[in-house]
């Protein structure tokens, strides 16, 4: 059974750093594209970042230069390192598995999300 | 432009049909996927590609694309379909993804 479990969220002051983790089971993270998506309170879904099976990374303009997506193949875990955090980064962060080209890069499995609150 | 525009809200009577649309230039190049989001729950993929439903998604959900517009149709809406729906696709580079603005579906 495919499962994604996020952790690492919490309350952090503006300018601070936080690392989110997404532990995967039931499949191998290194074989799939993996995404981070967020939802700010009262707002819609916002795509944040993707890492390809080959390790190539892309970011939304809103987080480029501040966030870094990575994975640890030995732990089958996806990460999001978030630096220089701002109040507008406050959101529930989801990790999601991309089912690949055969399904037009839709995200077929999602974690339950972890809440990041940036506030002084 | 990589923006995807959706109507903010639609309502449908129980058992009737509702269509949710998603407009954006990128949809001329890439198919949309559609996600259902209920409060406190993770998003659920309900449609992808050209009218493809993931396993476990009711067949009352269908999809289509014409030009720069993707549509998700619920035929015979049920109370459990009340949720926010988001389309998603890629921008012109094919490397960056974007979500639509979201549509709140109310089942009356």
Q: Is the pLDDT of residue B81 over 70?
A: yes
Indicate whether B2 pLDDT > 80.
no
**B1 confidence band (pLDDT: 50, 70, 90):** low
**Residue ranges of chain A with per-residue pLDDT less than 70:** none
Residue A88 main-chain phi, psi, to 5 deg: -75, -5
Whether residues B99 and A44 touch (CB distance < 8 A) is answered with yes
pLDDT tens-place string over residues B12-31: 999 999 999 999 999 999 99
Is B40 a residue whose pLDDT tops 60? yes
Average pLDDT over residues B52-71: 96
For B26, phi and psi rounded to 5 degrees? -65, -20
Sort out which chain B residues have CB atoms less than 8 A from A47's CB and list them: 88, 96-99
Q: Are B102 and B7 in contact (CB under 8 A)?
A: no
| Number of cross-chain residue pairs from A and B with Cβ atoms under 8 Å apart | 63
A35 in contact with chain B, both atoms CB, cutoff 8 A: yes
pLDDT value of residue B50: 87
- Best mutation site among B57, B97, B99, B103 for testing chain A: the one with the most A CBs within 10 Å? B97
Sign of CA dihedral B59, B3, A113, A103: positive
Q: CB B45 to CB A107 under 8 A?
A: yes
Residue by residue, DSSP assigns A33-76 as -EEEEEE-TTS-EEEEEEE-TT--EEE-TTTTTTEEEEEETTTT
């Amino acid at each position: 059974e495919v499962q994604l479990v996020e952790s690492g969220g919490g309350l952090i002051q503006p300018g601070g750093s936080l690392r989110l983790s997404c532990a995967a089971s039931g499949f191998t993270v290194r074989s799939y594209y993996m995404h981070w998506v967020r939802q700010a309170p009262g707002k819609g879904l916002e795509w944040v970042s993707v890492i390809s099976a080959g390790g190539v990374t892309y970011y939304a303009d809103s987080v480029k230069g501040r966030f870094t997506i990575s994975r640890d193949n030995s732990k089958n875990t996806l990460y999001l390192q978030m630096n220089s955090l701002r109040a507008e980064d406050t959101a529930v962060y989801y990790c999601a598995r991309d089912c690949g080209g055969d399904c037009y890069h839709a995200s077929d499995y999602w974690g339950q999300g972890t809440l990041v609150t940036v506030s002084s | 432009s990589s923006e995807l525009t959706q109507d903010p809200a639609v309502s449908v009577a129980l058992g009737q049909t509702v269509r949710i649309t998603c407009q954006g230039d990128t949809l001329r190049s890439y198919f949309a996927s559609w996600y259902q989001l209920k409060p406190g729950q993770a998003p659920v993929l309900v449609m992808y590609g050209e009218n493809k439903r993931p396993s476990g998604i009711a067949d009352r959900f269908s999809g289509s694309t014409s030009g720069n517009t993707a549509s998700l149709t619920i035929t015979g809406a049920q109370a459990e379909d009340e949720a926010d729906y988001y389309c998603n696709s890629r921008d012109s580079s094919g490397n960056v993804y974007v979500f639509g603005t979201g549509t709140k579906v109310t089942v009356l």
